[in-house]
Structure 1
Amino acid sequence: MPTKPIMITRTPRGTQPSDRTHAGDTTPLWQQALARAIRDPVTLARELELDPAHLPGLHAGHTLFRVRVPRSYLARMRKADPQDPLLLQVLPQQQESEEHPGFVADPVGDHDALAAPGLVHKYHGRVLLLTTGACAVHCRYCFRREFPYAEHNASQDDWAPAIAYIHADTSIREVILSGGDPLSLSDRRLADLVRRLEAIPHLERLRIHTRLPVVLPERVDEQLLSWLGKGRLHHVLVLHANHPREFADPAAPALARLQARGITLLNQAVLLAGINDDPDTLCELQEAGFRHGVLPYYLHLLDRTRGTAHFEVTEHRALELHQALHARLPGYLVPRLVREIPGEPGKTPRWAGL
């Protein structure tokens, strides 16, 4: 999303990451790890033993949308492989500066659905709160890469307009925290926001859309777990992993800690050319998630955001891939293939004639 190591120490038994690197340091470990994220495309290339001169568009793409890659995510990439599927999700490309018909700044109609600062109300019974513009990783296909977060800051007035809107509409049963990435906020701010949502009697569920447990697993610390999953509302964590390697260590222990707290874990993925547009990768993505307690939720067709056309998979190919998932996996491991269409009452399913 748009503007968008200090050594990791462990407890004596080596089972949990320390929340501080040494006594007296009050900065959470995850914030220290985030501060050490790679923010320069040349550094990204060289860390992976790639020659920046052989990566066209590296600087042009970075100018359009700044690079940010946590080192724990970088560690899961193959070195000397410019086609690594994790790298391609964060590597600036020449194609990002190309114009394509139908690829626009706001492909999902967020602006037209703003009901209060940072509050998107598209669908019956639920609203989406854009808690921050910050993310731990800047994915090149991000559909909000041009969203003007500074103009629509939900927290600017201490969340008051958004809270008032939710309180006044008794049809709202669920609040979705999104961004950016809501887990980029401090636990103090998040816990305070959740307490205020808990006080709205007609709310039943709190859904959090986040990529941090996957790309920055240090975020799943005791401070987060001290409030996540607690309280009156049912908490659902919707993760975002596009490739099975994203569920590997060091993300796996973080997911285990979330699962141990009884938090519902779902995954939504985006179908991306050159990254996961083959049956083997998609099947293993669902299997890998389930091994870590994560159920498939959505498989999104690409939101046609300006600068992302090189990631698009045709709908015909997407339907073929979805049929392959149905043929090879049990029904509970098959995500729903959907496209978001502005003005529709929900995500629009694609059924492949099944």
Structure 2
Amino acid sequence: MKKINSVIKKDNWLHELSNSITHPKELLKILNLENHIQYSTLKKNKKFSFRVPYSFIARMKKNDPKDPLFLQVINNNQEFLKSSEYIKDPTKEIKNIILPGLIHKYHDRVLLIVKTNCAIHCRYCFRKYFPYEINQGGKKNWMQALEYIKNKKELNEVILSGGDPLMAKDHELIWLIKLISSINHIKRLRIHTRLPVVIPSRITFDLCQIFFQSRIKIILVTHINHPQEINKELSKSLFKLKKSGAILLNQSVLLKNINDNPIILAKLSNILFENNVLPYYLHILDKAIGTKHFLVSNKKAKVIMKNLMKMISGYLVPRLVYDTGSKDNKSIII
């Protein structure tokens, strides 16, 4: 059996997860922003709760209401503004749910909702209103999904998503990945996750071993929007993932007042590549209810990309895409 030379350390990501902040006032106090006029009348969003781990907060700047990490997670009263363009299911996933937690939207791949929760609640989330209550993660639903996958020979890729799929414990992932790997026509396993970014200790020895020993190719897609998110701890975790043999890609969302600047995006692409991660997608915002204040227009996005392409090598330029919700064309490159 293949092994990675590594020192096994006790997992502490679950401890970090359990100690996350769950009220915006706590975050405002930590960052010395509790008296800032913009947040004096902050409303509680009962539809989409607040959550952010301390490890992510540690990368925020104190006394700075414009900090790009802070702006991604802090509640905003603009979340309550209504617009007919902003809907509950902007990527049209719900109508493509085949079985509980299994979405078959495209011909050669399926998406499996492994877990319904996340380590961090990003305010621009496009799955704010996804019906997780009837699409729970767990072995019962996974077994049904795996049986469906076995019978669909046209499939060659399984995408693990959520919530966040790495909210599953290592022993659950070992069980699931082994069964997926046993299906001969599945060649690739793609994992979309933000958890290693917000809690880098989630990249455990056991998780890397799972990837290293897998028959199928593992593609791990991180979700990093700003270079400030990448600290020493995350760099170490990304290096472990690289050693495990996983292909590392990154997808970002273009967000107003956060990363809608070619200089910031160029810095992000460069630091991603230094950490063995290839910039993959830069998404135009999916128009979920309550996210309008994050939108960067298509016109501005095109200008940003034009300038970005002048600043960095072509292989570092992510593809600017918009999810149409269509089966025939997942993303339109703008």
Fold-level match, TM-score > 0.5? yes
Q: Match for residue 172 of structure 1?
A: 155
Name the CA distance, whole Å, in 2 between partners of 1:133 and 1:58.
30
- SS in structure 2 of the partner of residue 285 of structure 1: helix
Q: Match for residue 3 of structure 2?
A: none
- The residue type paired with residue 255 of structure 1 is L
13, 19, 24: which one aligns with 2:9: 19
**TM superposition shift of 1:228:** 2.2
Q: Match for residue 214 of structure 1?
A: 197
**TM superposition shift of 1:224:** 1.5
Q: Match for residue 310 of structure 2?
A: 327
Q: 1:278 to 1:263 in 2, by over 3 A?
A: same
Name the CA distance, whole Å, in 2 between partners of 1:314 and 1:57.
29
Asked whether the 8 Å contact 1:125–1:174 carries over to 2, the reply is yes
- The residue type paired with residue 184 of structure 2 is P
Q: Match for residue 185 of structure 1?
A: 168
- SS in structure 2 of the partner of residue 227 of structure 1: helix
109, 115, 124: which one aligns with 2:107: 124
- The residue type paired with residue 237 of structure 1 is L
- The residue type paired with residue 98 of structure 1 is L
**TM superposition shift of 1:134:** 1.0
**Bigger shift: 110-119 or 296-305?**
110-119
- SS in structure 1 of the partner of residue 159 of structure 2: strand
Deviations 1:38-69 (A, max 9, x none): 11111111011111563438752443311111
Deviations 1:56-86 (A, max 9, x none): 3875244331111111110100001111000
Asked whether the 8 Å contact 1:271–1:277 carries over to 2, the reply is yes
RMSD of aligned alpha carbons: 1.7
Deviations 1:83-112 (A, max 9, x none): 100000000001001101210111001101
Name the CA distance, whole Å, in 2 between partners of 1:133 and 1:114.
15
26, 35, 48: which one aligns with 1:43: 26
Q: 1:247 to 1:305 in 2, by over 3 A?
A: same
Asked whether the 8 Å contact 1:239–1:267 carries over to 2, the reply is yes
Aligned residues: 329
Name the CA distance, whole Å, in 2 between partners of 1:346 and 1:227.
32
Deviations 1:154-190 (A, max 9, x none): 4262512211111110000000000000001101111
- The residue type paired with residue 149 of structure 2 is I
- The residue type paired with residue 88 of structure 1 is L
**Bigger shift: 42-51 or 152-161?**
152-161
Q: Match for residue 144 of structure 1?
A: 127
Name the CA distance, whole Å, in 2 between partners of 1:300 and 1:55.
28
Q: Match for residue 160 of structure 1?
A: 143
Name the CA distance, whole Å, in 1 between partners of 2:157 and 2:282.
21
15, 18, 37: which one aligns with 1:54: 37
- The residue type paired with residue 287 of structure 1 is N
**TM superposition shift of 1:306:** 0.1
* Aligned residues with identical type, % of pairs: 41
Q: 1:216 to 1:127 in 2, by over 3 A?
A: same
244, 263, 274: which one aligns with 1:291: 274
- The residue type paired with residue 207 of structure 1 is R
Structure-1-length-normalised TM-score:
0.89
Q: Match for residue 13 of structure 1?
A: none
284, 289, 296: which one aligns with 1:301: 284
Q: Match for residue 10 of structure 1?
A: none
237, 245, 265: which one aligns with 1:262: 245
Name the CA distance, whole Å, in 2 between partners of 1:195 and 1:145.
30
- SS in structure 2 of the partner of residue 228 of structure 1: helix
Q: Match for residue 234 of structure 1?
A: 217
Name the CA distance, whole Å, in 2 between partners of 1:179 and 1:308.
19
Asked whether the 8 Å contact 1:41–1:62 carries over to 2, the reply is no
- SS in structure 2 of the partner of residue 66 of structure 1: coil
**TM superposition shift of 1:251:** 1.2
**Bigger shift: 247-256 or 111-120?**
247-256
Name the CA distance, whole Å, in 2 between partners of 1:157 and 1:194.
15
Name the CA distance, whole Å, in 1 between partners of 2:44 and 2:209.
39
Asked whether the 8 Å contact 2:45–2:75 carries over to 1, the reply is yes
Name the CA distance, whole Å, in 2 between partners of 1:54 and 1:279.
30
Alignment pair present for 1:345 and 2:328: yes
- SS in structure 2 of the partner of residue 191 of structure 1: helix
